Structures are given as structure tokens and as C-alpha cells.
């Protein structure tokens, strides 16, 4: 990212990957013979899972300053691994208190104009945090030290409502539905402009019988206070374990673009960039509602 006039800030929290992982939970109808399933976002006290998330972006950028155009390339890879426990939920099944232990949280990338990649390790890596909603306020506490403001805001967003993926009816293989952009909260603060789902089939995945759903998604996300928004068009697969009523994986690939102006210190830069983007996450469930989970069942 350009250090002058400003470094863009693409974060997993901005793109809402952790929130989307929570959105992949589902309740399945026991009437398997009818091939219809009731899918709902939910969580329960006692849930425990190991989560992995990866976001990669490669973009060729043309930056114009004073009528002079310069070409550059941006590469970013963000990775996080954490164990999460749900400590409490509200009446709607939305977590109100969770505990996360981060084993990995880092970003590796190459800014335009620089030859070498560099890795930045988040202050959250190697730490355990508890996030608790108390009325309208969200409290974040750490096992050691203090949490910087940027990371604290990201953690506070982990308790936001992440619903909006599934329709209010039973669906089965072959069914399609549109997601209402106004109701789509599964990408956090990102602005969803279009989302379509197709129930492909029921498959065995990671030892569980899963609903296999194909998702097509258009959204934009702010990459910084003054930076142009990052617009993404992606498509891919969601796998939801019907036996334990939880999501196992999401893999989306597509194209990201950025176009707009940025002004700092009296100088205006015009950006125009495009390139491949990939979003992956997985969850291995150790406990559901406090009960141990074995592959293929609770």
C-alpha cells in the first residue's frame, strides 16, 4: 500500500470474515426424505471451535498524480487462526459473550513501489481476549496487557448480528433465493449490493452431511478513512453441517477493484486498480451447546 499520502487499511474485520463464519450456522429439518431443510443462523452457550480465515488480494494499480500516471502492484495476504468459545447468547441466539485465543493473526504484503514483502504481526497474536456485551456497551478484556484501539474496535464488531444469509422458509437442492441487501449483516460493515444463493446438493464434507450452497456476492468495503472503497464480486461455496447445525467452510473467489481520488497535503491522487481476490474460512467444531462433537455427529 502507498505510504504517502496514506496507507490503505484492509482488515479481516472490515471485510467481516469472522462475522461471516458465524453466519454459516444452520438448523436442519429432520424430514430428510423430503429433501427440505430449515436454515437459520444461531449459536449456543458452550459452542467451541477452531477457526481459520485467509484473505488474499493481488491488484494492479494505476495512480495518477498531476497528470502523470504510474503503474504498480499491490499484494496482500491476511491470515488468522483462533479458538473461540461462546460464553453466552441472547434470546435470538446471537452471542453476547465470547472468548478467543489467537494463535495466528498477521498480514503479509507488498506495497506499490516496494520490492520486498513484509509481515506485520497483530498485537492479538498469542493472546486470549474476552468480548462481552453489557447493555449497549461492548467490553473487551485481555489475559495480559492492553488492546490497541484498532484491534479493540475489530473485536467489538465480533458481537454484531451476522444474520441475513438464509430465507424464512424451508429450502432444498435446486432452490434459489436472493438475499435482501438491507438485511444482509453477515459481512459486518461492508455494503452488500447483491447476493444470491443456490442450494446445490447435500454432500459429505469433513465427516459431516452438509448442505452445499453456492453463493454469488457483490459488496464494497471501506479500506481507510479517505481511501476509495474496495469493490468485490465473488462467488463460491458454503458447507453447512446438517447433523450438528453449524457451518464448516466458506470459499469465495472473484475480482476486486478500486477507483477514486484521495487528497492529502494538498495533493490529489487518482487510483484505478483491479485484480483477483480470495476469501477462505473453516471451522472445526469441538463442542456444540457444551457437548463434545465427533466427526459425523454431535
Calpha distance 81→134 (Å, rounded): 26
298 lies in some domain = no
190 lies in some domain = yes
5 lies in some domain = no
Mean pLDDT of the chain: 83
What is Dmax (Cα atoms) for the chain? 67
pLDDT digits (tens, 9 = 90+) for 57-74: 999 988 888 788 888 888
162 lies in some domain = yes
Calpha distance 177→167 (Å, rounded): 7
The model's pTM is 0.81
Contact, 170 vs 29, CB < 8 A?
A: yes
**Cis preceding-peptide flag for 5 (omega within 30 of 0):** yes
297 lies in some domain = no
pLDDT digits (tens, 9 = 90+) for 247-264: 899 999 999 999 988 776
pLDDT given for residue 64 in this prediction: 86
112 lies in some domain = yes
Q: 10 Å Cβ neighbour count for 194?
A: 13
C-alpha distance from residue 263 to each of 9, 11, 73, 258 (Å): 16, 22, 20, 15
7 lies in some domain = no
Please determine, for residue 85, whether its predicted confidence score (pLDDT) is greater than 70.
Answer: yes
Please determine, for residue 81, whether its predicted confidence score (pLDDT) is greater than 90.
Answer: yes
Tell me the mean pLDDT in the region 268-278: 90
1 lies in some domain = no
Classify burial at 212, counting beta carbons within 10 Å of its beta carbon; exposed 0-12, middle 13-18, buried 19 or more: middle
Helix, strand, or coil here: 280? strand
Q: What total of structural domains would you count in the chain?
A: 1
Q: Residue 70 belongs to a domain with what CATH number?
A: 2.30.230
pLDDT digits (tens, 9 = 90+) for 3-44: 322 233 344 444 444 433 344 333 334 444 458 998 877 799
Please determine, for residue 268, whether its predicted confidence score (pLDDT) is greater than 90.
Answer: no
Amino acid at each position: 500500500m502507498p505510504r504517502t499520502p496514506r496507507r490503505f487499511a484492509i482488515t479481516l474485520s472490515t471485510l467481516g470474515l469472522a462475522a461471516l463464519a458465524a453466519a454459516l450456522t444452520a438448523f436442519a429439518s429432520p424430514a430428510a426424505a423430503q429433501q427440505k431443510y430449515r436454515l437459520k443462523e444461531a449459536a449456543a452457550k458452550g459452542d467451541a471451535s477452531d477457526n481459520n480465515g485467509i484473505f488474499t488480494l493481488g491488484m494492479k494499480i494505476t495512480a495518477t498524480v498531476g497528470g502523470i500516471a504510474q503503474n504498480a502492484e499491490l499484494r496482500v495476504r491476511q491470515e488468522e487462526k483462533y479458538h473461540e468459545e461462546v460464553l453466552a447468547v441472547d434470546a435470538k441466539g446471537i452471542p453476547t459473550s465470547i472468548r478467543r485465543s489467537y494463535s495466528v493473526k498477521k498480514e503479509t504484503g507488498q506495497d506499490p513501489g516496494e520490492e520486498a514483502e513484509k509481515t506485520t504481526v497483530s498485537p492479538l497474536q498469542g493472546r486470549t481476549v474476552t468480548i462481552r456485551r453489557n447493555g449497549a456497551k461492548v467490553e473487551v478484556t485481555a489475559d495480559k496487557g492492553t488492546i490497541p484501539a484498532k484491534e479493540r474496535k475489530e473485536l467489538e464488531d465480533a458481537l454484531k448480528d451476522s444474520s441475513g444469509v438464509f430465507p424464512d422458509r424451508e429450502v432444498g437442492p435446486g432452490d434459489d433465493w436472493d438475499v435482501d441487501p438491507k438485511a444482509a449483516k453477515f459481512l459486518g460493515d461492508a455494503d452488500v449490493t447483491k447476493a444470491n444463493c443456490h442450494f446445490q446438493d447435500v454432500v459429505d464434507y469433513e465427516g459431516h452431511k452438509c448442505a452445499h450452497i453456492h453463493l454469488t456476492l457483490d459488496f464494497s468495503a471501506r479500506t481507510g478513512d479517505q481511501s476509495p472503497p474496495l469493490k468485490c464480486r465473488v462467488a463460491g461455496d458454503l458447507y453447512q453441517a446438517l447433523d450438528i447445525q453449524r457451518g464448516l467452510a466458506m470459499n469465495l473467489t472473484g475480482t476486486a477493484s478500486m477507483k477514486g481520488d484521495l487528497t492529502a497535503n494538498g495533493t490529489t491522487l487518482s487510483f484505478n486498480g483491479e485484480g483477483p481476490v480470495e476469501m477462505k474460512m473453516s471451522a472445526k467444531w469441538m463442542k456444540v451447546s457444551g457437548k463434545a462433537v465427533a466427526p459425523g455427529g454431535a
